[in-house]
Amino acid sequence: MKTLKYILILFIVSSCKTETKKEIIETPVEKPNIVMLVGDDHGYPYFGFNGADYVQTPHMDELATSGTLFTNGYVPQAHCKPSLQTLMTGTLPIDYASSVERLIEEKSVPDSAKANFRFHAMKHFNTLPKILAKSGYKSFQGGKWWEFNYQNGGFDEGMTKGWTEEDKKKDDWFLKFMGGDGTELVRKTMQPVYDFIDKYPEAPKFIWFAPELPHYPLNAPDKYYNIYKDKDMTESAKRYYANCTWFDEGVGELVNYLKSKKQFDNTLFVYVNDNGWEQEPHQEFRHDSLRWHNGGDKGKLSVYDQSFRTPIIFSWKDKISSNSRSKALIHSADIPATILDYLDIEVPKDYFGKSYKALIEDNTKTDRDIIIGKVTQMRSEEDFMGKKIEAYWARTNEWFFQWNLTTKTIGLYDMNTDPQNNTNLAETHPDMIADFKAKIEDWKKERG
């Protein structure tokens, strides 16, 4: 799985009697397999490698120590669909949505067809699988996938096949909507991804591995639940952590299969969550339907740090140094750009993300000094699926800022002393509030 990139450098030094030539050829550029591991509702704290010794995640712990772990990773939204779109396109949700609306206008899509167009919109984007295909990659989609079918993302093969109008009338409609058969990955089967690996033994592969875990339903088999059964924690914590371990086991099975096929050493693994979650050992949510499905109030569909924060891991045996941790702020949009940089493929000009390869090679470096995001949906006691809002958030090395225009609330939290955002310092730092607002307004103007 290597390709040779030929570079000819010719030096000519002329005089009346002498001529010197130097020629360099055949610089190898490797094409590793790429495995994108995506946690579904996996809260930032709930990994062994992040100090949660009450959760068993041995395979993820090994992955984190085998490469570079970014401890200050962020996704753009506090729910899954827009976050996953960013991983596919390298763009922010606000830019993705604007591009879709422009396409609707350019193509004069009638009102009656606009909803259906949006379901299929990703096929009009230059997705990561499409870019990789030009370099000989075969690609596979498995797990959570909102884009109707795997073909819309540019994958060669996949588990999500789409749905029909008749499916909308069935009880399992929402399951079909968010991935259909793709959601069976790990929960019911690993065979489709194994078959894909076996089908292309020589070609470099891109694998989208996004099982619906530890996402609700919290119904891990006894094999995983029994690990926590007698622990001093609430029942909802036991159920959630069991699902975390279930996800972890799926990662371990994939790693072991690649090793059995002698393909592990030449595989670049990347891990990221789709959004945050809150489930501390003492919190009980089983009798609270909204939180049983969404976690605590500082996780999914909220506007707190933990709702956007994620570990981001890059691991490639003998190519990325092990036991490396970086506190640099990194956006999930930077993941596809970094992957392309490792392959010596030009990053598209419309990418918001930028390559972090240099920071992986030197974890003392930094890049972003602020990450800003827009929130369009927030959990609600009145609407189980959430309510529409306009809010913004920003994270610097020292602070987390939230600005909810819909509820007319502002929050400022010291991340050094208050990472769980318990103490709002907004009233005591008016100058800082003004500065954050100005930066967000500038960011909005840049977005057009």
Instruction: Please tell me whether residues 294 and 416 are part of one structural domain.
Output: no
127: pLDDT strictly greater than 80 = yes
Contact 280, 258 (CB under 8 A): no
Mean pLDDT in the chain?
Answer: 92
Q: Are residues 190 and 105 in the same domain?
A: yes
Please say if the pLDDT value at position 25 is more than 70.
no
Number of domains observed in the structure of the chain: 2
pLDDT exceeds 80 at position 18? no
Query: What is the rounded CA–CA span in Å between residue 138 and residue 145?
Result: 18
* Calpha distance 167→414 (Å, rounded): 47
In a domain, 20, yes or no: no
383: containing domain = 367-448
How far apart (Å, rounded) are the C-alpha atoms in residues 223 and 198?
28
Q: pLDDT, tens digit, for every residue of 188-200? A: 999 999 999 999 9
Please give the distance of CA 258 from its chain centroid, rounded to a whole number: 22
Give the pLDDT confidence of 128-149 residue by residue, as tens digits.
Answer: 999 999 999 999 999 999 999 9
Q: What is the CATH number of the domain that holds 416?
A: 3.30.1120.10
The answer to whether residue 300 sits within a structural domain is: yes
Contact 396, 372 (CB under 8 A): no
Q: Is residue 13 part of a domain?
A: no
Q: Is residue 8 part of a domain?
A: no
336's CB contacts (< 8 A; 6+ apart) are: 87, 88, 89, 90, 128, 351, 353
pTM for this model (two decimals) = 0.92
Confidence (pLDDT) at 29:
61
* More confident site: 169 or 291: 291
Distance CA 168, CA 184 (A): 19
Dump pLDDT digits (tens) for 348-359.
999 999 999 999
